[in-house]
Amino acid sequence: MYKYDEYDQQMVDTRVEEFRDQVRRRLSGELTEDQFKPLRLQNGLYLQLHAYMLRVAVPYGTLNSTQMKLLGDIADKYDRGYGHFTTRQNIQYNWIKLEDTPDILAELAKVEMHAIQTSGNCIRNISSDQFAGAAADEIIDPRPYAELLRQWSSFHPEFLVLPRKFKIAVIASEKDRAAMRLHDIGIKMVRNDAGEIGAQFYAGGGMGRTPMIAPLIRDFVPLNQLITFAEACLRVYNRYGRRDNKYKARIKILVHELGRDEYVRQVEEEFAHLLTQPIEPPLAELERIKAHFTGPDFEQGLSDELDLRDPDFRLWVGRNTTAHKVPGYVIATVSLKPVGGIPGDASADQIRLMAQLGRDYSFDELRVTHAQNIVLPHVRKADLYTVWKALDEAGLGTANLDTLGDIIACPGLDYCSLANARSIPVAQKISERFGSAEKQAEIGELKLKISGCINACGHHHAGHIGILGVDKKGLENYQLLFGGSEGADTSLAKIIGPGFTEDGVVDAIEKATQVYLANKQGEERFLDTYRRIGMDPFKEAIYG
């Protein structure tokens, strides 16, 4: 894992002091709320319906146990005893006092954490594959490149007041676990014919009101030009992205309106110019960062055997574990989606327990996933039963990864001032209806995502089934979408017809699963069957 040097530490410490000063000026009235708002947003502090919300960055989703433990302690000390893990691999606290935030940031800085650029119209926390460094299918660990980009994008003086927020994801395997092409810039690390590593750039993806899948804008950027190319992409956006309409200000609109080819032409022209400027860090810097990610000292020659006599354990292993690149180890995903729970929420005690398990059984590493779960990336198979037992006793043993119970949901109208409808109660009802082990075994993989407004924080466009909450004459109404995906086969979900009430939408999903089960061929998932037979049979069952 990356470890701060004196410079990195000084940067976060300076930010704490800067923010403390901003809060002081706000509390003294020197800054009005209007003036303070863009400043506090650059530091992850939102004003929600009931209180301030603080979003803490987890760069590329990677944490050590000390950091994770502190996240639990902060939940106890400054919030109401829980935290909420987000779709951008961050954590947010929903009940924060403005006066406390500088102290919270100071505590975070002590364990090399921060809330820098977790909101606002700037380059946000860089996200990545939650299985990085552990997955059997990766070309290379993507995190050193994400860290290089993290440093470049932190307080980049030219790009702090962009037209709109800017999200970057970096992956390095065929199977996309980070929704890479639904980002403003998606980067896939690849190996070319000469065997060299480079970066493939996609630009102009995103969800929100106008969902778009990012087109490829460059096949291969050599590693010694990575920052320069990213800078060219951002400069063209900063200069020409729309600023007349907040809802048309994301880079996806610029790329769409210019056309992919014209955007590429402008980026290449800017890139050629910027190559003449001494702005690219030397490869030695990348090597320095890479040395932090050499990975743990895995034991060799371990047995791959697992004792699966406990049927509950067997179920969990089948659902929540993934192949590790080293024999005898496994990647375990801890579901934060118990039946009837709030997706992504964890109590302070649960957070500390996961920290302890990460320390004792996963080489001191944990990950946050964009599906709002937690990963223990390097567990010895011999330890897996012990780990699961401890999780299960703490209410963290739910076996439902990627099934109907494993819902992504935004905070919705329970917290968010932008929302039109509540997301959490819908998620709870769905998980209660479909959360039993039998139902999940029957239905299998079905990714369901709920957003409480068209800003799409709950990724409804990318759900096999998506739910969008809208306000219909003062009543909450839920539209249903089918056929989205965020994987290597990224597709956008389509609305199937008129919306439903809260209970109506749960019934409609029930009918959809019946259509799937009646038409399923072989090992088809819901999404595969839907893609083969189309929307009509589903519409007929739901509205007929």
Distance between CA atoms of residues 89 and 524, nearest Å = 29
Using CB under 8 A as the binding rule, the residues of this chain from 411 to 450 that contact another protein are none
Closest to another protein by CB, 50 vs 239, is 239
Strands (E) located in 216-303: 216-222
Binding string, residues 201-240; x marks residues near another protein by CB under 8 A? ----------------------------------x--xx-
CA quadruple 168, 171, 176, 182: dihedral, nearest 10: 10
Select from 368, 417, 350 the least CA-distant residue to 92.
368
Q: Which two tokens stand for residue 204?
A: 């102009």
Of the candidates 278, 311, 474, 522, which one interacts with another protein according to CB under 8 A?
A: 278
**# chain residues binding another protein, by CB under 8 A:** 39
Q: Is 328 in the site for another protein (CB under 8 A)?
A: no
357 contacts 397 by C-beta, under 8 angstroms: no
10: number of Cβ within 10 Å: 11
Q: Is 195 in the site for another protein (CB under 8 A)?
A: no
Q: Mutual orientation of helices 536-543 and 526-533 as an angle, nearest 10°?
A: 100
Adjacent-strand bridge partners of 52: 47, 96
Distance between CA atoms of residues 19 and 104, nearest Å = 11
Closest to another protein by CB, 152 vs 415, is 152
Of the candidates 27, 136, 272, 279, which one interacts with another protein according to CB under 8 A?
A: 279
Closest to another protein by CB, 286 vs 376, is 286
Q: Is 194 in the site for another protein (CB under 8 A)?
A: no
Closest to another protein by CB, 152 vs 388, is 152
Closest to another protein by CB, 230 vs 496, is 230
- What is the nearest approach in angstroms of another protein to the Cβ of residue 428? 38
456: number of Cβ within 10 Å: 23
Closest to another protein by CB, 150 vs 181, is 150
Concatenated DSSP letters of 487-510 = STT-B--EE-SS-B-HHHHHHHHH
- What is the nearest approach in angstroms of another protein to the Cβ of residue 233? 13
Pure H helices in 42-189: 65-78, 101-110, 143-153
Using CB under 8 A as the binding rule, the residues of this chain from 352 to 391 that contact another protein are none
Of the candidates 67, 94, 121, 400, which one interacts with another protein according to CB under 8 A?
A: 121
Using CB under 8 A as the binding rule, the residues of this chain from 493 to 532 that contact another protein are none
Q: Is 243 in the site for another protein (CB under 8 A)?
A: yes
Distance between CA atoms of residues 408 and 66, nearest Å = 27
- What is the nearest approach in angstroms of another protein to the Cβ of residue 162? 6
Distance between CA atoms of residues 139 and 197, nearest Å = 9
The residue type of 28 is S
Binding string, residues 146-175; x marks residues near another protein by CB under 8 A? -----xx-xxxxxxxxx-------------
331 contacts 323 by C-beta, under 8 angstroms: yes
- What is the nearest approach in angstroms of another protein to the Cβ of residue 243? 6
Closest to another protein by CB, 5 vs 523, is 5
Using CB under 8 A as the binding rule, the residues of this chain from 17 to 76 that contact another protein are 17-18, 21-22, 25, 30, 35, 38-39
Of the candidates 242, 256, 288, 472, which one interacts with another protein according to CB under 8 A?
A: 288
- What is the nearest approach in angstroms of another protein to the Cβ of residue 361? 34
255 contacts 263 by C-beta, under 8 angstroms: yes
Closest to another protein by CB, 125 vs 423, is 125
Select from 64, 231, 179, 61 the least CA-distant residue to 485.
179
Distance between CA atoms of residues 84 and 92, nearest Å = 5
- What is the nearest approach in angstroms of another protein to the Cβ of residue 14? 6
Q: For tokens 């086969």, what's the residue? A: 489
DSSP state of 338: -
The residue type of 352 is R
Q: Is 277 in the site for another protein (CB under 8 A)?
A: yes
Angle at 326 between CA 320 and CA 327, to 5 degrees: 85
Contacts with another protein, residue ranges (CB under 8 A) = 5, 7, 10-11, 14, 17-18, 21-22, 25, 30, 35, 38-39, 121, 151-152, 154-162, 235, 238-239, 243, 273, 277-279, 281-282, 284-285, 288
